[in-house]
Chains A and B, each alone.
Chain A
Amino acid sequence: MNLLWAVGALLLSCWQASASTGPKIITDPPEVSNQTSAVLSCNLTESNLPIKGSHWVYNGKIIEDSKSTDASPSTVLRLEKITHSSGGKYECVFETEPEVKGTIEVKTLPHVGAYKHSEHGNEKDKGVMVCVSHGYPLPTDWTWFKEEDGTQKPFINGTTTKFEIKSTPNKTTLTINELSMEEDIGDYTCSGTNELGTSSDKIHLRVRSRLAALWPFLGIVAEVIILVTIIFIYEKRRKPDEINDGRAIPMQITKTRM
């Protein structure tokens, strides 16, 4: 009985050993978080497949400079400066039959920016403020704050009909209905949070009174009326002279009658 168990255990371990002889990639580091630069490396182990070369892929596109026809089982990619635009999924690909890939995620703080840093709206109209984000991973949470008396007051969606927040991972929109000059002027902050942290941007909202444009408009209309009056008066003054004047343009009939 004991012999049977021993044989069984031996067979099991052999089988396990043979199951794990598939090619394996060791990535180092397994994940990059919040670093300014990094060296990504992949090591292909436990594979006797011939390696024709290797390259790196970033967000689905092949990085041209990383292509190599080296048959070496290890490949390295240097990221000198990691900004929000270089975050994403990096894959090392070994050109074997079949291809073997390993993935390293480079994560950064989100980069949050406002479409326009100064927004304006008309009284009683709606005001729209938009923030967008780039980076990887995209923010999972967006919050809006209003600066009041030095502190940030958060907006909670759904409490009133005055505010509406619509958010997608890369864009968030705060809509304020029925703008009022007393309450709504000020600085608004949008802040996006992903697993690494938070970053934010500020927008200044200005509310113009509905009648603000009326005064310049009335001024211009007055100017037009004055000009037209002057022109007509001037012409009335000249009219007696003109009948005798042989001016060509209007004087067809008078001339032919002369």
Chain B
Amino acid sequence: MTKNKPKAEGQRDEAEGQDGGWGWVLVGALFVSTSLVFGLMRSLGIFFVEFVQYFEESAQAISWISSTGLAAQQFFSPLGAALCNAYDARVVVMTGGCLAGLGLILASQATCLVHLYLTMGVISGLGWGLVFTPMVATVMANFTRRRALALGLGFSSIGLSSFAFNPLFQLLVEVFAWRGALLILGGLSLNIVPCGALIRPKRRSKSPEKINSESKPRASILHRVSSHLELSLLFERPYITYTLAVTLLNVGYFVPYFHLVAHSRQAGFSEYQAAFVMSAAGATDILGRVASGWFSDLGHFRLLHLLSIWTTLAGVFIMLLPVSSLSGSYPALMVISLLYGFCSGALTSLVFAVVPMIVGVARVMGALGLLQLIESGAGLLGAPLSGFLKDVTGNYIASFMVAGSFLILGTLTMATLPHYFSCKDPPPPQRPSPEDKDKSLQSEVEPSVTERSVI
């Protein structure tokens, strides 16, 4: 693992991260931490039944737990990004891991539903928020040509882990009861801390800026905070458009995960058949992530175009899901679910990989943070909306139709990005002028030094 390359590498232009070496170790860290964040979140459904029975609350009240967790993760993402920009990604991720574990450990002692909202929802969600965005941004900064593949591999963990975690959690709950299971999960979540430790600590690359800001009389806390959060991005049309597209995508994206099993059961299939459909979709999800990552990196098509294709297909397949299950045919349901799984995995690898194309590598950390925050509204909206549609219409057809149409709306929004229809990527935008002014004050001038390294 020691990649002590000769000094020649030092001269290599590091405008963007070079592929290989420690980068792949970080991909492994991303793999583990993502599985412990999202894979875990997705398998919390096992506890759903236990909570309903133990706390004697309605299904809706219980489902708010995971909604809160997801929303907290996305809401605190900009905070995580800002802290990484200000301090060190390593510390932030390790803290996030501790918080995530702590939330679950405290949840195991919960005596009422509110406790669960606060612990599993807020505390763990905060922890997850401090973990995910920094890890993703770190990996992206370490790769250029193989970025989509690296992300695809990293995110493939979500599918694999929800595949593995579902039966594992079921076993834990059976053997240890839900309290014991949550305690053990808290311990498992602490494994995020070593993943964070693998991030190489930043070598004070922000210090020139700090020196400069001290010399400028007007540098205020507000300015620094806003630059850490990359709030200037909110005023750029491409970024806003893309964020809107991803938000729309998110409204529909999670719906099948919440409702596919229930819908299959309602269509008349047995518990095991329904669960197996989910597992199968999860398997093709993994495949889709890796395959799409690898394929995108071949460079034949623009990432943005590929993303649009996968999103549209996923939307179409979501809409076909209720149609296939209503025909009563299990093979039809299976096939559509497999296709849906593949497309939804494929689009996931690309959603983040496109961001550097739009905002430039330097601002990726903040961009991701803000993106997660804005799309959090969508996640909060999606599941209750489809639940509401189900309550009103009595079945899941309307929910799936609406979910699929949101994905297609997302694609249409993406089509309004500037230079969408050109075949080559436009050059990524450089950072606006204040930085250039700073640069001119320093003696060392690099042409592409807009890349304040993300780590």
- Is A224 interfacial (CB-CB < 8 Å)? yes
Taking a contact as CB atoms under 8 Å apart, the answer to whether B180 and A213 are in contact is: yes
Residues of chain A contacted by B184 (CB below 8 angstroms) = 213, 216-217, 220
Task: Report B190-205 residues with CB < 8 Å from chain A CB.
Answer: 190-191, 193-194, 197-198, 200-205
Given known A-B contacts A220-B190, A220-B191, A238-B2, A253 and B183 have beta carbons under 8 A apart: no
- Is B177 interfacial (CB-CB < 8 Å)? yes
- Is B455 interfacial (CB-CB < 8 Å)? yes
Given known A-B contacts A208-B176, A216-B184, A221-B190, A249 and B17 have beta carbons under 8 A apart: yes
- Is A1 interfacial (CB-CB < 8 Å)? no
Residues of chain A contacted by B197 (CB below 8 angstroms) = 227-228, 231-232
**Count, chain A residues at interface, CB 8 A:** 39
A140-174 interface bits toward B, Cβ cutoff 8 Å, 1 = contact, 0 = none:
00000000000000000000000000000000000
Kindly state the separation between the CA atoms of A227 and B188 in the bound complex, as whole angstroms: 13
Kindly state the separation between the CA atoms of A221 and B177 in the bound complex, as whole angstroms: 20
- Interface SS majority for chain A: helix
Kindly state the separation between the CA atoms of A247 and B141 in the bound complex, as whole angstroms: 14
Most buried by B among A227, A238, A257, A258: A227
- Interface SS majority for chain B: helix
Given known A-B contacts A122-B180, A128-B53, A257-B444, A247 and B190 have beta carbons under 8 A apart: no
A255 to chain B, nearest CB (A): 6
Q: Which of B8, B174, B187, B194 interacts with A228 by CB under 8 Å?
A: B194
Task: Report A202-218 residues with CB < 8 Å from chain B CB.
Answer: 208, 212-214, 216-218
Q: Which of B18, B177, B193 interacts with A121 by CB under 8 Å?
A: B177
Q: Specify the chain A residue showing the minimal Cβ separation from B1.
A: A234
Kindly state the separation between the CA atoms of A224 and B10 in the bound complex, as whole angstroms: 34
Kindly state the separation between the CA atoms of A251 and B184 in the bound complex, as whole angstroms: 39
A218-258 interface bits toward B, Cβ cutoff 8 Å, 1 = contact, 0 = none:
11110110011001100000100100111111111111111
Most buried by B among A125, A219, A224: A224
Taking a contact as CB atoms under 8 Å apart, the answer to whether B187 and A216 are in contact is: yes
- Is A89 interfacial (CB-CB < 8 Å)? no
Taking a contact as CB atoms under 8 Å apart, the answer to whether A246 and B10 are in contact is: yes
Kindly state the separation between the CA atoms of A232 and B194 in the bound complex, as whole angstroms: 9
Q: Specify the chain B residue showing the minimal Cβ separation from A213.
A: B180
A115 to chain B, nearest CB (A): 9
B138-158 interface bits toward A, Cβ cutoff 8 Å, 1 = contact, 0 = none:
000110000000000000000
Q: Specify the chain A residue showing the minimal Cβ separation from B442.
A: A256
Residues of chain B contacted by A250 (CB below 8 angstroms) = 200-203, 205, 453, 455
Taking a contact as CB atoms under 8 Å apart, the answer to whether A228 and B18 are in contact is: no
Taking a contact as CB atoms under 8 Å apart, the answer to whether B183 and A249 are in contact is: no
- Is A120 interfacial (CB-CB < 8 Å)? yes
B116 to chain A, nearest CB (A): 15
Kindly state the separation between the CA atoms of A121 and B177 in the bound complex, as whole angstroms: 6
Q: Which of B186, B194, B208 interacts with A231 by CB under 8 Å?
A: B194
Q: Which of B11, B53, B193 interacts with A224 by CB under 8 Å?
A: B193
Residues of chain A contacted by B198 (CB below 8 angstroms) = 231
Taking a contact as CB atoms under 8 Å apart, the answer to whether A213 and B2 are in contact is: no
A72 to chain B, nearest CB (A): 37
Given known A-B contacts A213-B176, A227-B194, A256 and B444 have beta carbons under 8 A apart: yes
Taking a contact as CB atoms under 8 Å apart, the answer to whether B204 and A253 are in contact is: yes
Q: Specify the chain B residue showing the minimal Cβ separation from A208.
A: B177
Taking a contact as CB atoms under 8 Å apart, the answer to whether B7 and A224 are in contact is: no
Taking a contact as CB atoms under 8 Å apart, the answer to whether A252 and B180 are in contact is: no
Residues of chain A contacted by B452 (CB below 8 angstroms) = 252
Given known A-B contacts A125-B177, A220-B190, A253-B204, A246 and B183 have beta carbons under 8 A apart: no
Given known A-B contacts A248-B14, A248-B18, A249-B453, A224 and B176 have beta carbons under 8 A apart: no
Residues of chain A contacted by B14 (CB below 8 angstroms) = 248-249, 251-252, 255
- Is B327 interfacial (CB-CB < 8 Å)? no
Taking a contact as CB atoms under 8 Å apart, the answer to whether A255 and B10 are in contact is: yes
- Is B60 interfacial (CB-CB < 8 Å)? no
Taking a contact as CB atoms under 8 Å apart, the answer to whether B193 and A252 are in contact is: no
Taking a contact as CB atoms under 8 Å apart, the answer to whether A245 and B5 are in contact is: yes
Residues of chain B contacted by A224 (CB below 8 angstroms) = 187, 190-191, 193-194
A178 to chain B, nearest CB (A): 15
- Is B84 interfacial (CB-CB < 8 Å)? no
B270 to chain A, nearest CB (A): 16
Q: Specify the chain A residue showing the minimal Cβ separation from B191.
A: A224
Q: Which of A212, A219, A221, A255 interacts with B176 by CB under 8 Å?
A: A212
Residues of chain A contacted by B190 (CB below 8 angstroms) = 220-221, 224
Kindly state the separation between the CA atoms of A258 and B187 in the bound complex, as whole angstroms: 45
Most buried by A among B5, B180, B444: B180
Taking a contact as CB atoms under 8 Å apart, the answer to whether B200 and A249 are in contact is: yes
B300 to chain A, nearest CB (A): 28
Kindly state the separation between the CA atoms of A208 and B193 in the bound complex, as whole angstroms: 30
Q: Which of B18, B94, B174 interacts with A120 by CB under 8 Å?
A: B174
Given known A-B contacts A246-B10, A248-B9, A248-B12, A254 and B180 have beta carbons under 8 A apart: no
Residues of chain B contacted by A223 (CB below 8 angstroms) = 191
A115-127 interface bits toward B, Cβ cutoff 8 Å, 1 = contact, 0 = none:
0001011100100
Taking a contact as CB atoms under 8 Å apart, the answer to whether B11 and A246 are in contact is: yes
Taking a contact as CB atoms under 8 Å apart, the answer to whether A247 and B142 are in contact is: no
Q: Specify the chain A residue showing the minimal Cβ separation from B12.
A: A248
A: residues with CB less than 8 A from B are: 118, 120-122, 125, 128, 208, 212-214, 216-221, 223-224, 227-228, 231-232, 238, 241, 244-258
Q: Which 4 A-B pairs have the closest CB atoms?
A: A246-B10, A213-B180, A220-B187, A248-B14
B: residues with CB less than 8 A from A are: 2, 4-5, 7-12, 14, 17-18, 22, 53-54, 94, 108, 141-142, 174-177, 179-181, 183-184, 186-188, 190-191, 193-194, 197-198, 200-205, 207-208, 444, 446, 449, 452-453, 455
Known: A227-B191, A253-B208, A254-B203. 14 other contacts (CB 8 A): A118-B174, A120-B177, A212-B180, A213-B183, A213-B184, A217-B187, A218-B187, A228-B194, A246-B10, A247-B10, A247-B22, A248-B9, A255-B11, A256-B444
For this complex, 27 residue pairs linking A to B, each with C-beta atoms less than 8 Å apart, are A208-B176, A208-B180, A212-B175, A212-B180, A213-B183, A216-B187, A217-B183, A217-B187, A220-B187, A220-B191, A231-B198, A241-B4, A245-B7, A246-B10, A246-B12, A247-B22, A249-B200, A250-B455, A251-B10, A251-B14, A252-B205, A253-B203, A253-B205, A253-B208, A254-B203, A255-B10, A256-B446
